[in-house]
């Protein structure tokens, strides 16, 4: 069992930055692929970034490449998403998700087993 708690969301002006954190409980975090998803108002949930359990393999959605960086600190059981150059279209609820152990990251929501409750990110123009 893995419990995930996101933090770091908020209101920011376009061009600004935010750093999201996801604190994980449980012993399997360090062996799990992890991802950040987002769900804009009235739209489907999409994967913005994912990272392998050892941190050497990553995935980024085209819309965030060069602006967002996913990272993890396994000893601290924490996942991060550094978001720079934020745009109004980045406004969404952001979720972290944990996948099975020892798997490569994917952008498919069905890959992931555990989900956090989400944190709101609002970017004003």
Q: What is the pLDDT of residues 54-92, one digit of tens each?
A: 988 999 999 999 999 999 999 999 999 999 999 999 999
Q: What is the mean pLDDT of residues 50-57?
A: 92
pLDDT-above-90 percentage for the chain = 87
State the pLDDT confidence band at 19, using cuts at 50, 70 and 90: very high
Write the secondary structure of the chain as one string of H (helix), E (strand) and C (coil).
Answer: CCEEEEECCEEEECCCCEEEEEEEECCCHHHEEEEEEEECCCCCCEEEEEECCCCCCEEECCCCCCCEEEEEEHHHCEEEEEECCCCHHHCEEEEEEEEEECCCCCCCHHHCCEECCCEEEEEEC
């Amino acid at each position: 069992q893995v419990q995930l708690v996101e933090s770091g969301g908020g209101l920011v002006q376009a061009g600004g930055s935010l750093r999201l954190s996801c604190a994980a409980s449980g012993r399997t975090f360090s062996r799990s692929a992890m991802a950040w998803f987002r769900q804009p108002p009235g739209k489907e949930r999409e994967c913005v970034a994912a990272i392998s359990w050892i941190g050497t393999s990553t995935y980024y959605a085209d819309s965030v490449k060069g602006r967002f960086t996913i990272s993890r600190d396994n000893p601290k059981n924490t996942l991060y998403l550094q978001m720079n150059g934020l745009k109004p279209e980045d406004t969404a609820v952001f979720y972290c998700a944990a996948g099975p152990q020892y798997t490569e990251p994917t952008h498919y929501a069905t890959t992931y087993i555990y989900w956090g409750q989400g944190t709101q990110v609002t970017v004003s123009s």
